[in-house]
Structure 1
Amino acid sequence: MDSITSSRMNAIDANCSYLGLKGIQLMENAGAAIAREAADVVSDGEVLIVAGRGNNGGDGFVAARHLSAYQNLKVKIILTGKPDTIRTEDARANFNLLKHCDIGEIRVFDNSPAIFDWFGDADVIIDALLGTGVKGNIREPESTLIDLINSSNAKVIAVDTPSGVDPDSGNVSGKAVKADTTLTFHRMKTGLENPDAKDFTGEVKVIPIGVCMDAESDVGRGDLKLIANRKSTSHKGDSGRILIIGGGAYSGAPALAAMAALRTGADIVTVAAPASVAKTIASFSPNLIVRELTADRLCPEDIPILEELISAHDVTVMGMGLGREKRTLEAVKQIIPLCRKLVLDADALYDLELPASLDYMILTPHAGEFRKLAGTIPETLEKKIDFVNEFSIRENVTTLLKGSSDIISDGKQYRINKTGNPGMTVGGTGDVLAGIVGALFALYDAIDAAGNGAFINGAAGDLAFVEKGYGLVATDIIEKIPKAIMGRGTKHD
């Protein structure tokens, strides 16, 4: 299986909770695996667990509880701070259980000679200090504890990632634990594959801990955690500048996409629309910036205007309401290579030349549009996923195939989105989705933008359905986007 980043693993953990599998259950499985590894290393002797105050330490507490049942093993624990400073509820719960176990001694680290002697007496040391939570330079007391671990003669087992090794890059900032064995949970972490990290990881073992398959494949609340809050230092434009190219045959579609992008959090949204509909689009909302093009339909003569606009925006979203006139489709082909990031929807998918000529393109077809791009679509979900994966890698695109279950793939990984309802078959919901995805694409990778976009669109539709039933319309969904992002009141929460 492919390696994953720490942020992706955090999202999977949160998705497990979303599905009903609590973090404390995963912690139990991780800690039990650590205990088995330690017991395999030494059958008679001392095990020293060096524990931080986060969930990495919590894994260590679980391991201590399991190891305390081994008659020939003596277990000691060093904490980096007082017990009342343990940061997570799951870690605190497992620490509190230790008073009911036969633990040799538990002490908060200080510079006393007695604690230093613990490192010399240990046969096995479990590094449960930082794990994937390392950020920047190592501070005290972790810095001294890493030195003490590395100076001991004990066998060292690192929990998830050796403390001090960046789990995503494998880089070391200053110092890190040198482990004999690293137990990393669920999937290999990207940083552990870095050859420079091998001096610190020792043998890396990937340990299953019972993660639900759907927590990784289905988009959930954990994925939305990747959408970070804005920094207090943010300025206008930092949260995305989105260009919508649409309209001509229709006026409502580009307006819906633009309003959806704004509701998703984009700072600036500009609609470039043919002269026949530009004023109508502007009348939808004073929040829209509308740039009038030269003719009644998008045409190659508009390229100089659009080239300037494209360069001033982070993402281009194109296709809604354009129509399929020959000169319009020719203009679309000329526009595509000018874009840095591009979302193509609706009419822009018609007569599309693939493979893509740029690396950052998201396609958002419904089933009919996708059949024209890729051929006959298989019936079963499993075969559809394979089909979309193969298409995406072959054509160098990220695909969001809309349906009762949306399939999102960049050819390397895929997501399934199950939010949404039959009321969303009303016209305009696809335009809303394109706008949401475009806004997210300004800040996030294509797979995360498309996956989260599908989830938000469906969750907003679910909120709208509660109030409007089958009478919901696309603008109802737009109004619910902020609540959907914040996770308030959907049927999936």
Structure 2
Amino acid sequence: MQVITSTEMAALDANCEYYGLARTQLMENAGASLANIIKQKFPQGTPVTIFAGKGSNGGDAFVAARHLTGYNVQVFLLGRGDEIKTAGARWNFSILKKAGTSIIEITDSTQIPEPDNDCVIIDAIFGTGIKGRLRPLESTAIDRINNCASEVVSVDVPSGLDPDTGDFEKAVRSNLTVTFHKPKPALLRQELKTYTGELITAPIGIPLFFERLIGKGDLERLATRKPESHKGDAGSMLIIGGGPYSGAPALCAMAALRCGVDLVHIAAPESVSDIIASFSPNLITAALTDNHLNENDIPLLKKMIPDADVVVIGMGLGKHPETQSALQEIIPLCKKAVIDADGLYALDFQQKNYSNIIITPHSYEFNRITELKTPENLNTRMQVVTGFAEASNTTILLKGKTDVIAKGSMVKINTTGTSSMTVGGTGDVLAGITAALFTTNDALLSACCAAFISGRAGEICHQKYGSGLTATDIIECIPEACNP
């Protein structure tokens, strides 16, 4: 059975809203589904006692209360109405008050009553967002519920239970848990049956396709800079690029800096090193020995690579046999790497383990390095990319009108972007964004968010410049794209 973690569910909620499916609609669907299950299980006229927290879990219960016409509903809110955390929950709480539903706001644990034994208790204290130790108010409410002989229905997850790990300080013992969209991992653990009881998974109107889409919710999962951060804490990068093309590594570096990485060094052939440095005073360059990367550069790179959280390899390097030979020795030395453009041709997927690498090919490059065609049909293309990602243990960001990102059996798609982004240099920008995120995040999340940010920055630029946008324009729009 497929599960969804609390982090994934939070991202999915945010993505639904980003793509037009409002959180209030999801809350309405969840509460209505819960009420329908209550109606199927218990006859009309049954007293229903709701213990509601101040989050979205409580909001689901407020909706259910509105739908339970013919039931004697009593709501106990653990806190004050003006403390309710989400707009949807506040809105549904206000509707209940206007409808004359019996509501008691509880601010002290001594005020929590013992529920009647003949009622149905709806446990909506905590959902998937539980954090930290229980406060006295919620702890006492859980005790009251567990000490009662009533039937208990938990909303999404029994309150107190960590939805992912199953850990708990204290948790509600439910007869029935109604979870939404997909079960959370802990709900399937047999040893927790005492707490979860019967499990029903209720759909709430989220299209399965939305689970594939990258959006705002994925960006919210990215690591954030801490107030006490020092230089280097937000990541350091080394770019090995340049040769026939000098602009590519500069574009990659500037994109990474705009994405928030702390330090970027560029190792480029001597013939272009000064040219690259001249693009911006923000660029730190180290000159290699010749007009193309070769084995004589390996000693210098062996000194530089250990200091880099991520090494970006490929843009502008060229395909000289000496360059490809040197890359085959360099790539295994990297802690993490993003491989693009000319660097892709140095990879040996039959012999090497590339679990610490993200590759960013377009369809032609993917075909050349894998001997696999990328079909026009999106579902078939996802299958091809996922199959190769599993077989090679590599994270793949396949660039295209719709980007396909895969790691193992996981596959996501990105639909941001515009046809104006066919201009040269956009792939270098994407590689820089990917590497910047990869310094402090895992490979799949980094690749997904990079594709979204790059495409969104292109959309913002297109609104300003139309089909005349350039790669440098996209770089300047990265900060705005990071906050959709």
Give the TM-score taking structure 2 as reference length: 0.94
The one of 76, 80, 83 equivalent to 1:82 is 80
Bigger mean CA offset, 193-202 vs 140-149? 193-202
1:15: which partner in 2? 15
1:59: which partner in 2? 60
In the alignment, is residue 460 of structure 1 matched against residue 461 of structure 2?
Answer: no
Bigger mean CA offset, 342-351 vs 302-311? 302-311
Q: How does 1:237-248 map to 2 (within 5 A)?
A: 237-248=232-243
Shift in Å, 1:167: 2.1
Q: How does 1:201-350 map to 2 (within 5 A)?
A: 201-350=196-345
Between the aligned partners of 2:478 and 2:381, the Cα distance in structure 1 is 28
In the alignment, is residue 360 of structure 1 matched against residue 356 of structure 2?
Answer: yes
**Cα gap change, 1:176 to 1:328, in 2 (>3 Å):** same
Code of the aligned partner of 2:31: G
In the alignment, is residue 94 of structure 1 matched against residue 88 of structure 2?
Answer: no
In the alignment, is the contact (CA less than 8 A) between 1:13 and 1:215 conserved in 2?
no
**Cα gap change, 1:358 to 1:377, in 2 (>3 Å):** closer
Q: How does 1:149-164 map to 2 (within 5 A)?
A: 149-164=145-160
2:167: which partner in 1? 171
2:374: which partner in 1? 377
Shift in Å, 1:29: 1.0
Between the aligned partners of 1:97 and 1:260, the Cα distance in structure 2 is 48
Code of the aligned partner of 2:41: V
Between the aligned partners of 2:118 and 2:290, the Cα distance in structure 1 is 80
In the alignment, is the contact (CA less than 8 A) between 1:74 and 1:104 conserved in 2?
no
Shift in Å, 1:193: 4.1
In the alignment, is the contact (CA less than 8 A) between 1:23 and 1:90 conserved in 2?
yes
Between the aligned partners of 1:466 and 1:339, the Cα distance in structure 2 is 39
SS in 2 for 1:132: coil
In the alignment, is the contact (CA less than 8 A) between 1:183 and 1:205 conserved in 2?
yes
Structure 1 stretches of 5 or more lacking a match?
488-493
Between the aligned partners of 2:425 and 2:27, the Cα distance in structure 1 is 44
Identical counterparts, % of pairs: 50
In the alignment, is the contact (CA less than 8 A) between 1:171 and 1:197 conserved in 2?
no
Shift in Å, 1:476: 1.0
Shift in Å, 1:303: 2.7
Shift in Å, 1:445: 2.0
Shift in Å, 1:47: 1.6
Structure 2 stretches of 5 or more lacking a match?
none
The one of 121, 125, 128 equivalent to 1:125 is 121
- For 1:400-423, what per-residue CA distance to the aligned partner results, in whole angstroms no more than 9, with x for missing partners? 111111111113222211111111
SS in 2 for 1:407: strand
Q: How does 1:388-407 map to 2 (within 5 A)?
A: 388-407=385-404
In the alignment, is the contact (CA less than 8 A) between 1:168 and 1:191 conserved in 2?
yes
In the alignment, is residue 40 of structure 1 matched against residue 48 of structure 2?
Answer: no
1:490: which partner in 2? none
- For 1:230-271, what per-residue CA distance to the aligned partner results, in whole angstroms no more than 9, with x for missing partners? 221222212111121111222111111111000001011111
1:440: which partner in 2? 437
1:137: which partner in 2? 133
Shift in Å, 1:181: 2.2
Between the aligned partners of 1:360 and 1:122, the Cα distance in structure 2 is 57
Between the aligned partners of 1:257 and 1:60, the Cα distance in structure 2 is 49
- For 1:358-389, what per-residue CA distance to the aligned partner results, in whole angstroms no more than 9, with x for missing partners? 32211100111011123222121121111111
Code of the aligned partner of 1:233: E
The two structures, once aligned, show a CA RMSD in angstroms of: 1.9
SS in 1 for 2:121: strand
SS in 1 for 2:177: strand
Code of the aligned partner of 2:286: R
Between the aligned partners of 2:342 and 2:193, the Cα distance in structure 1 is 51
2:448: which partner in 1? 451
Code of the aligned partner of 2:141: L
Give the TM-score taking structure 1 as reference length: 0.93
In the alignment, is the contact (CA less than 8 A) between 2:51 and 2:75 conserved in 1?
yes
Bigger mean CA offset, 155-164 vs 361-370? 155-164
Shift in Å, 1:196: 5.3
User: Aligned residues, how many?
Assistant: 481
